[in-house]
Amino acid sequence: MKLVYITNGINGSGGLERVLSIKASYLADELGYEVHILVLNHSDQNRFYSFSEKIQFHSIDVGGNPISYFFKYKTGIQNVVTKINPDIILVCDDGLKGFFLPTIIKTNAKWIYERHVSKLIEANDKDGSIKKIMTKGKWLLMSHLAKKYDRFIVLTDGNKKEWTSLMNIDVISNPLSFFPDESSNLDDKIIICVGKISYQKGQDLLIKAWQIVHEQFSDWQLHLYGKENLNYLNTNELENNVFFFPPAKDIEQKYLQSSIYVMSSRFEGFGMVLTEAMACGVPCVSFDCDYGPSDIISDSVDGFLVAKDNTTELAEKIMALISDEELRKKMGIRAKENVQKYLPERIVKQWNELFLKTINND
C-alpha cells in the first residue's frame, strides 16, 4: 500500500516531526508500506530526527503573495500525487490550508487528516473581540472542510470534543519516542521540563512555582530544554538553579538523569514529553490542562495532576515528590509500567487497522 504524508516540514525538533519519524519509519520498516513524505521548500533537509532509509522524500517550492503561494501549493502537490498514485494521503498540517486539499487535489486516494494540536492554539486570553470573531470563523470553516476527509484523527478524547460536528473522527494517540531498558535512579536533584519557551508551554507559570520550591529545596535544579525565548522569563533571582538548554537529540539521556518531570502548559494537543519521561521511569507533575495530561497520567498513582494554572499546588506536588523518596520511586516504577500502552507497535497497529478499514470502505 502506498502512503503519502503531506506536511510543512520535518527538519524541526517539535512533536509533530518526532511522531512522524517514528510512525512513518515503523510503517516502512516493520509493516512494508511504501511511504512518501511531501514537504515544502526542501524542509526535509538537515533533519533533527532520524527517518527510515526506505522512506521517499519529495519537496515542492512555494512562496510569494497569497495567490502565488496557493497556486504553487496546489500545483506542486497535484504533480506529486499524480506521479505516486497513492492509496492514502495523510495531511499533517495544523494550519488552514491543509483542510482544503481534498477539495482542490484530484485523486482516487483516500484522505486522512491528522490533528496534532488543540484548537486553543489559535486563541489567546488577550485577544480582542475582532480577533476572537475571526478565530471562531476559522474554526467553523475548518469544521466544514474537515467533513471532506474520509477520516479525521485527533490525539485524545478531549480533542474529540472540539470537533463535535464531525462523524468521521477517530482517536489515535502519539506513539512513544523510546522505551529504554534502564530507568532513572531518581536520585539526582534535577527537575526537567522540555518544550519551546512560550505562552503555550507556560514556563512563566513554572518559574512562579519554582520560586516557592526554591525557598525550601535550594539544592535542587530546574533544567529547561527548548528553543530559547529568555525575554519571556524572569529568572534573575533563580540564576543559580534554573538552567536553559537547546533542544537535545539525546533527550532520552536527559530524562534518565532527572528525578521529576514538570509540565506547566496552558494547553496541549497531547503532551508527548510526559510519555517520554514516564518511559524513563520519571514521575510527572502536570497541570490538568486541555488536552492530554489526564489521558496519560493516573493522578496520585504514577504522577500528579494539578488544577490548571494553580502554581501553588504545582509547587506543593513538586515538593511532595522531592521530600518523599519512596513515593517518588514508587510512582516512577508505575509510570514506566503504565506508559507501555503507547509503545509504537501498539499505536501503529491502530493506524494499520484504520488504513485497511478506510481502503475497504468503498
Query: In sequence order, which residues have a C-beta less than 8 Å from that of residue 163 and are 6 or more positions away?
Result: 115, 143, 146, 152, 154, 169
- Report the predicted TM-score, pTM, of the whole model to 2 decimal places: 0.90
| Mean pLDDT, all residues of the chain | 94
CATH code, 2-175+343-359: 3.40.50.2000
* Confidence category of residue 130, pLDDT binned at 50, 70, 90: confident
Compute the distance between CA of residue 69 and CA of residue 180 in angstroms, rounded to an integer. Answer: 43
Summarised one tens digit per residue, pLDDT across range 288-328 is: 999 999 999 999 999 999 999 999 999 999 999 999 999 99
The half-sphere exposure of 304 on its side-chain side, counting CA atoms within 13 A, is: 21
Indicate the range of 45-49, 167-171, 231-235, 246-250 predicted with least confidence: 231-235
Q: Using alpha carbons, list the distances in angstroms from residue 44 to 11, 21, 30, 35, 78.
A: 6, 11, 22, 14, 19
Q: How far apart are CA 148 and CA 165, in angstroms?
A: 13
Asked if 31 and 52 count as a contact pair (C-beta separation under 8 A), the reply is: no
Closest CA to 62 of 17, 95, 87: 95
- DSSP 3-state of 84: helix
- DSSP annotation of 143 reads H
What is the percent of the chain where pLDDT is above 70?
Answer: 96
Q: Is the pLDDT of residue 232 over 80?
A: no
Asked whether the predicted pLDDT for residue 209 surpasses 80, the reply is yes
Lowest-confidence pick of 18-22, 224-228, 243-247, 256-260:
224-228
User: 235 falls in which pLDDT band (50, 70, 90)?
Assistant: low
Q: Can you tell me whether residue 218 is helix, strand or coil?
A: coil
Indicate where the chain has its CATH 3.40.50.2000 domain(s). 2-175+343-359, 190-341
Pair 216, 319: CB distance under 8 Å: yes
**Is residue 362 over pLDDT 70?**
no
Question: What pLDDT sits at residue 233?
Answer: 75
In the structure, what pLDDT confidence band is assigned to residue 3 with cuts at 50, 70 and 90? Answer: very high
The pLDDT value recorded for residue 236 is 65
Q: How confident is the model at residue 275 (pLDDT cuts 50, 70, 90)?
A: very high
> What percent of the chain is predicted at pLDDT more than 90?
85
Compute the average pLDDT of residues 110-121: 91
Q: How many CB atoms lie within 10 A of CB 80?
A: 18
pLDDT of residue 305: 98
Residue 9's pLDDT is: 96
Give the CATH superfamily of 190-341.
Glycogen Phosphorylase B; (3.40.50.2000)
Q: Is the pLDDT of residue 345 over 60?
A: yes
Q: CA angle 250-254-258, nearest 5°? A: 165
Dump pLDDT digits (tens) for 45-86.
Answer: 999 999 999 999 999 999 999 999 999 999 999 999 999 999
The yes-or-no verdict on residue 111 having pLDDT over 90 is yes
pLDDT in tens, 141-165: 999 999 999 999 999 998 999 999 9
Mean pLDDT value of segment 240-267 = 94
Res. 343: pLDDT tops 70: yes
Residue-wise pLDDT for 22-44, tens only, equals 999 999 999 999 999 999 999 99
The H or E element containing residue 158 is: helix 157-160
